[in-house]
Chains A and B, each alone.
Chain A
Amino acid sequence: MTADRVVLGIESSCDETGVGLVRLAADGTVELLADAVASSVDEHARFGGVVPEIASRAHLAAMAPTMRRALDESGLELSDVDAIAVTAGPGLAGALMVGVAAAKAYAAALDVPLFGVNHLGGHVAVDTLEHGPLPERCLALLVSGGHTQLLLVEGIGEQITEIGSTIDDAAGEAYDKVARILDLPYPGGPPIDKQAKLGDPKAIAFPRGLTGPRDAKYDFSFSGLKTAVARWVETEQREGREIPVADVCASFQEAVADVLTAKAVRAARDLDVDTLVISGGVAANSRLSELAAQRCAEAGITLRVPRPRLCTDNGAMIAALGAHVLAAGAKPSPLDMPANPGLPVGTIVVQ
Chain B
Amino acid sequence: MLVIALDTSTPAVTAGLVALDDGPPRALAERVTVNPRAHGELLMPQLLDVMTEAGRELAEADAIVVGAGPGPFTGLRVGMVTAAALGQACGRPVHPVCSLDAIAAQATAEGPLLVATDARRKEVYWAAYDAARTRIDGPHVQRPAEVPTDGFAAAAGEMAEALGIAAVEPRYPTPVGLVTAARAALQGEPAPLVPLYLRRPDAAEPGKRKSVLTRGAK
CB within 8 Å for A60 and B201 given contacts A101-B44, A109-B85, A338-B40: no
- Per the bound structure, the CA–CA distance linking A67 and B81 in Å amounts to 12
CB-nearest residue of chain B to A334: B45
A292 in the interface (beta carbon within 8 A): no
Give CA–CA (A310, B50) in the complex, Å: 40
Which residues in window 198-212 of B have CB below 8 A to A?
201-206, 209, 211-212
8 A Cβ contacts from B170-218 to A: 193-195, 197, 201-206, 209, 211-213, 216
Which one of A51-59, A134-142, A275-283, A294-302 is at the B interface? A51-59
Instruction: Choose among B48, B78, B206 the residue that contacts A108 (Cβ–Cβ < 8 A).
Output: B48
Bound-state Cα–Cα, A61 to B73, Å: 13
Whether a CB of chain B sits under 8 angstroms from the CB of A243 is: no
Cα A73 to Cα B47 in complex, Å, equals 31
**Given A102-B82, A238-B213, A57 and B42 contact (CB-CB distance below 8 Å):** no
**Chain B residues closer than 8 Å to A63, beta-carbon distance:** 81, 84-85
A108–B83 CA distance with the chains assembled, in angstroms: 12
Q: Is the CB of B209 within 8 A of A78?
A: no
Encoded as 1 (CB less than 8 Å from any B CB) or 0, chain A from 221 to 262 comes to 000000100110011001000000000000000000000000
Enumerate chain B residues within 8 angstroms of A184, measured Cβ to Cβ: none
Instruction: Please tell me if B54 contacts chain A, counting CB pairs below 8 Å.
Output: no
> Do A47 and B205 touch (CB < 8 A)?
yes
The answer to whether B48 touches A335, judged by C-beta atoms less than 8 angstroms apart, is: yes
Among the listed stretches A91-99, A117-125, A210-218, which one makes contact with chain B, having 4 or more residues with CB under 8 Å of it? A91-99
Question: Which chain A positions have C-beta within 8 A of B212?
Answer: 227, 230-231, 234
Dominant SS among interface residues on chain A: helix
Interface pair A64/B84, CB less than 8 Å apart: yes
Counting contact residues on chain A (CB < 8 A from B), the size range is 35 or more
**Residue among A48, A109, A227, A234 having the largest count of chain B Cβ atoms under 10 Å:** A109
Rounded to whole Å, the gap between the CB of B203 and the closest CB of chain A is 4
| Chain B CB within 10 A, most for which of A51, A97, A105 | A105
Contact A64 B40 (CB under 8 A): no
Count of B interface residues, CB-CB < 8 Å: 41
Majority secondary structure, B binding face: helix
Q: Look across to chain B and name the residue whose beta carbon is closest to the beta carbon of A44.
A: B203
Given A78-B89, A93-B74, the answer on whether A51 and B203 have CB atoms closer than 8 Å is: yes
> How far is A11 from B211 in the complex, measured between Cα atoms in Å?
38
Give which listed residue, A94, A109, A335, contacts B58 with CB less than 8 A: A109
Chain B neighbourhood of A108, CB < 8 A: 44, 47-48, 58, 86
Once the chains are docked, how many angstroms separate the CA of A59 from the CA of B201? Answer: 14
Q: Which of B41-86 contact A (CB under 8 A)?
A: 41-45, 47-48, 58-59, 73-74, 77-78, 80-86
Q: Do B81 and A53 have beta carbons less than 8 Å apart?
A: no
A151 adjacent to chain B (CB < 8 Å): no
| CB–CB A101/B88 < 8 A | no
- Inter-chain CA distance A181–B208, complex, in Å, is 10
User: Would B82 and A53 count as touching, CB distance under 8 A?
Assistant: no
Given A53-B201, A94-B77, are A180 and B82 also a contact pair (CB < 8 Å)?
Answer: no
A-B contact pairs, 14 of them (CB 8 A): A51-B202, A64-B85, A68-B88, A97-B40, A101-B43, A105-B44, A108-B44, A108-B47, A227-B212, A231-B216, A234-B211, A234-B212, A235-B213, A338-B41
- Contact surface of B with A, Cβ cutoff 8 Å: 38, 40-45, 47-48, 58-59, 73-74, 77-78, 80-90, 193-195, 197, 201-206, 209, 211-213, 216
Of all A-B residue pairs in the complex, the 9 with the closest CB atoms, nearest first, are A109-B89, A53-B201, A105-B85, A51-B203, A104-B44, A230-B212, A102-B85, A105-B82, A94-B74
